[in-house]
A = this chain, B = another copy of it.
Amino acid sequence: MARNALYAQSGGVTPVINASAAAVIAAARAHPDQIGRVFAAKNGVLGVLAEELIDTACMSEADLAALAASPGGAFGSCRHKLRFGRELTRLFEVFAAHDIGYLFYNGGGDSADTCMKIAAHAEYLGYDLTAIHVPKTIDNDLPHSDCSPGFGSVAKYVGTSIREAGMDVASMCGSSTKVFIMEVMGRHTGWIAASAGLASGEGNLPPHLILLPEVTFNAATFLAAVEATIAREGYCVIVAAEGIKNAEGKFVAEAGGTDAFGHAQLGGVAPYLAQLIKTAQGHKCHWAVSDYLQRAARHMASKTDVDQAMAVGTAAVEFAMAGERGVMPTIVRSSDAPYAWTIGSVKLEEVANHEKHLPAEYIRADGFHITPAARSYFAPLIMGEAIPPYVNGLPAYPVWHFSSIEAKLEAFNTAG
């Protein structure tokens, strides 16, 4: 007897989370004997609590293709730590009201934990639920998966951006800017910053220096490296992870002074480093902080990443159809070059709340760049282009106007 499925997006979005969504929906449609309606939660688990469910039957195949080629989280995502007690109770009331037999929860490490708790509570209640976690995170810190869908596209964006900006700086360094700093995401791990090292190729091309959260920031060592790079190359291009810390374990970005309002200065590792260099060495510096641009740059998606985001979505449904529960599809690498990968699976308790750090063997001895081993790891993840359609000169991303299905339950006060 067919039961309904629910897909939900959770946590920070990625350039390819919608590709996973499209794959889950398409795969679910292929099993009408087991899966009835395919719902998507509006704004993730908050939408489940609010009983705001979208019936994805409204989406044509063309819609699904457009969905797969768009950034952001089409159905809305959220940052919400699901509370035991009334929230979990409510969740299952909504599940029961809409006969949800399958949950596809698309998120990172915290979400895997939520998904696991939901699965455990279903067991406890005796509610028949197949909960599968679909991996995504630009941070690439999910354990037991060779990489995380979302990461490869961000790596491609960061590598392209620093290669381009590096060429700009190189053109003018004789009489203008000598140092360029690009701040990238990575509060706890340096995967994104490290991946920028691909742009250097085998030689001394930008980025010349990479600052990783895994390496303690020391101003004197850093300044010496900048000076040595300028002496050798005529300029210095730097990629800095937002999460670099000093010897006291404090975020460098928080070491700034006070702003116009007298408050401690808000983040911004790049402007901090620029000022450090300018003050100590007098070099003209420019800096960029790409922030959400890197995480939303679907125009720069890696084809490999899109393929993997869709593969984990499809696999999630296949696992469910095969009767597996409480698992997450993983990417399993069998070869670097030629790159080969398959889909594996891991139990959620092995995923939840574990963070995968950049291995020491990926970091060059001086701490300022990556090793050949790291290059071998990163290289395939950015391969291939998956350029979205353009209309009138801009990527033609769909604008959705989803309405929720009629609610069956009383309204729920999330804040209560």
Binding site for B on A (CB under 8 A): 9, 12-13, 43, 46, 70-74, 76-80, 156, 159-161, 163-165, 167-172, 174-177, 180, 182, 198-199, 205, 255-263, 265-268, 270-272, 274-276, 278-279, 286-293, 295-300, 302, 379, 381-385, 387, 390, 392-395, 397, 399
Please tell me if the beta carbons of A164 and B395 are within 8 angstroms of each other in the complex: yes
Bound Cα distance A268, B287 (Å): 10
Nearest to A47 among chain B residues (CB) is B174
Contact residues in B for A393 (Cβ distance below 8 Å): 156, 159, 198, 302, 379, 381-384
Q: Closest CB-CB distance, A117 to chain B, in whole Å?
A: 18
Please tell me if the beta carbons of B292 and A180 are within 8 angstroms of each other in the complex: yes
Bound Cα distance A276, B286 (Å): 23
Bound Cα distance A288, B46 (Å): 28
Bound Cα distance A206, B288 (Å): 21
Most buried by B among A70, A74, A169, A256: A256
Bound Cα distance A165, B74 (Å): 13
Bound Cα distance A385, B28 (Å): 36
Bound Cα distance A159, B79 (Å): 27
Residue from B71, B159, B175 within 8 A of A168 (CB atoms): B71
- Known contacts A43-B175, A174-B46, A257-B261; decide if A164 and B385 are in contact (CB<8 Å): no
Please tell me if the beta carbons of A293 and B165 are within 8 angstroms of each other in the complex: yes
- Known contacts A78-B174, A399-B205; decide if A295 and B168 are in contact (CB<8 Å): yes
Q: Closest CB-CB distance, A140 to chain B, in whole Å?
A: 16
- Known contacts A165-B296, A256-B260; decide if A9 and B171 are in contact (CB<8 Å): yes
Nearest to A171 among chain B residues (CB) is B73
Give me 12 other A-B pairs in contact (C-beta within 8 A), A72-B164, A261-B276, A288-B291 excluded.
A13-B171, A70-B167, A73-B172, A76-B174, A160-B299, A164-B397, A198-B394, A205-B399, A260-B265, A261-B275, A379-B393, A387-B387
Copies per assembly:
2
Nearest to A75 among chain B residues (CB) is B171
Contact residues in B for A271 (Cβ distance below 8 Å): 266-268, 271
Please tell me if the beta carbons of A164 and B71 are within 8 angstroms of each other in the complex: yes
Bound Cα distance A175, B298 (Å): 23
Q: Closest CB-CB distance, A175 to chain B, in whole Å?
A: 4
Nearest to A12 among chain B residues (CB) is B172
Please tell me if the beta carbons of A293 and B12 are within 8 angstroms of each other in the complex: no
Q: Closest CB-CB distance, A253 to chain B, in whole Å?
A: 11
Contact residues in B for A379 (Cβ distance below 8 Å): 392-393
Q: Closest CB-CB distance, A391 to chain B, in whole Å?
A: 10
Contact residues in B for A387 (Cβ distance below 8 Å): 385, 387
26 contacts between A and B (CB under 8 A): A13-B172, A72-B167, A73-B172, A76-B170, A77-B171, A160-B394, A163-B394, A164-B293, A164-B298, A168-B295, A169-B292, A198-B392, A199-B394, A205-B399, A256-B259, A257-B257, A257-B260, A263-B275, A266-B271, A267-B271, A268-B268, A271-B271, A286-B291, A287-B289, A302-B393, A379-B392
